[in-house]
Amino acid sequence: MSEGDGGEPSVAEPPGRADGPAADPGARTGGDGPRMRGPRRAAALAAVLLFAGVAAVLGLTTPWNPLPGHVPGGSVQADPSLDFTPHEIARAKAFDGAINPPAYSGLLVGLAVILVLGFTPLGSRFIGWTTARVRRRPLRVIAAAVALTTLLRVIGLPFDIWSEAVLRHYGLSTQGWSAWAVDQLKSLGVTWVMYTVALLLLYAIVRRFPRYWWTGAAAGGFVLVVAVSFIYPIAVEPVFNKFHSLPAGQLRTDLLAMAKRDGVPVKDVLVADASRRTTSLNAYVSGFGSTRRIVLYDTLLKSPRPQIESIVGHELGHAKRDDVLWGTLVGALGVAGGLCLLYLLTTSPRLLRRAGVDPHVPAARDARSTGPADPRSIALVLALVAAGTQLAAPVQNLVSRRIEARADAHALDLTRDPKTFVAMQHELSVRNIDDPDPNWAEYLLWMTHPSGPDRIAMARTWSKMHHAPIPPPLH
């Protein structure tokens, strides 16, 4: 039993085989062997081309200036003191100071655990222990995925409880602990399904095409991302919320008329029962094609009608630009490139040995699972995915903030009511207790939307550009 086996008995091991090279030098070879150099070069080239394509698309299509054109006297600069009282600013800062410790601690601990599991033999040993009695390969992949994701969720649970306690203290959470626990179990169940499906497909491709699996993985990853984005509104969102059509009445009539005037085909506006877990205000667009939906939190329906129309105008901006579809396609390209890079890393003998996995790569399908085909490499795969996701987050957040700003500009163009827009952004910030002056780390790690003062400043800049009355300070 070689080092890193984690107690797992060998499968169809030939008699007398040592841990050195295989008896048939052409049957199996390490990632640096001559049989792997061509596929690795091809995968590296594909990764470079895909990432370059993503960078080019983002560079050319991201609305870096959501309000193009001349601004008489220059753009208005964000100033929280103009619209937020000292009490509102102090409360937001206090909340930020309370919610940041569990958020940052949970992030750091979660990353540290998965990286340790992935880049040391601990992960392969853990998987070997949890799958020791499982013989069928697909079931071993499922068991490993469930075991690892459950372990990570359990490790993160104290920080989730800490965060929930802070939300309760500040009145943002309306859930009882039992309902919160049910939501956590639902979230874990969704995680199990998504990870097991993705990993089953990945390891099936790895075993079927041991030298060129990056081609099938990249194509499959692209398709899977698009499929998940399409079905998410009808398969996942209902797990956490109940939805109903906005009741017939003047508000529904006005919102659908606004969508028609904007040239956006909207058959329905849905309301989510968000008030059973939060007091925050929100609305969103998800899906595309026949699954596209505009959803309002039921907490938002108590706001004045002009403010609701301003929010819906923002969401119509996303729908008109097909932001969800476009983001899905760009993200799918990024995932395809990431899978090519994953191929390069998981066929590295040095990295596989560090992870406690036999680095030999089968030249063809056989009874053995070694190299990337070994289910014990799942810890390494998840660690690489976690690292890549975290590295990509600042870029994703930056692009997201620009897209959200463009949707704000669309709402202003559609409603021609910057005063109501300013009032709505103030209410959103106060009700959600958003930090009016986030620091650089929050921008990099968390912020997918501009800050409230930034959005208010945009409305005043829009007013100057269109020679409209500039909304006065609220306080």
Q: Which of 83, 237, 408, 417 is catalytic?
A: 408
Q: What is the pLDDT of residues 336-369, one digit of tens each?
A: 999 999 999 999 999 999 999 988 765 555 445 6
> Which one, of 457, 404, 461, lies nearest residue 426 by Cα?
457
> Which one, of 415, 190, 457, lies nearest residue 305 by Cα?
415
- Taking the alpha carbons of 163, 166, 171, 177 in that order, is the dihedral positive or negative? positive
Residue 33, pLDDT score: 63
Q: Give the Cβ contact number of residue 10 at 10 Å.
A: 12
Instruction: Please check the confidence at residue 18 and state whether its pLDDT lies above 70.
Output: no
Helix 137-169 × helix 378-415 angle, to 10°: 50
Residue 26, pLDDT score: 38
Average pLDDT rounded to a whole number, residues 183-187: 97
Residue 8, pLDDT score: 37
Q: Which pair of structure tokens corresponds to residue 113?
A: 């655990």
Point out the least confidently predicted range of 36-40, 281-285, 332-336.
36-40
Residue 314 is assigned to a ligand binding site: yes
* pLDDT tier at 7, thresholds 50, 70, 90: very low
Q: Which amino acid would we find at residue 300?
A: L
Mark whether 315 is an active-site residue.
yes
Q: Which of 262, 315, 323, 435 is catalytic?
A: 315
Residue 404 is assigned to a ligand binding site: yes
Contact 6, 379 (CB under 8 A): no
Q: What is the pLDDT of residues 81-114, one digit of tens each?
A: 999 999 999 999 999 999 999 999 999 999 999 9
Contact 162, 104 (CB under 8 A): no
Residue with tokens 């996942």: 236
Q: Are strands 28-29 and 361-362 parallel, antiparallel or unpaired?
A: antiparallel
Residue 3 is assigned to a ligand binding site: no
Average pLDDT rounded to a whole number, residues 162-170: 98
Q: What is the pLDDT of residues 378-425, one digit of tens each?
A: 999 999 999 999 999 999 999 999 999 999 999 999 999 999 999 999
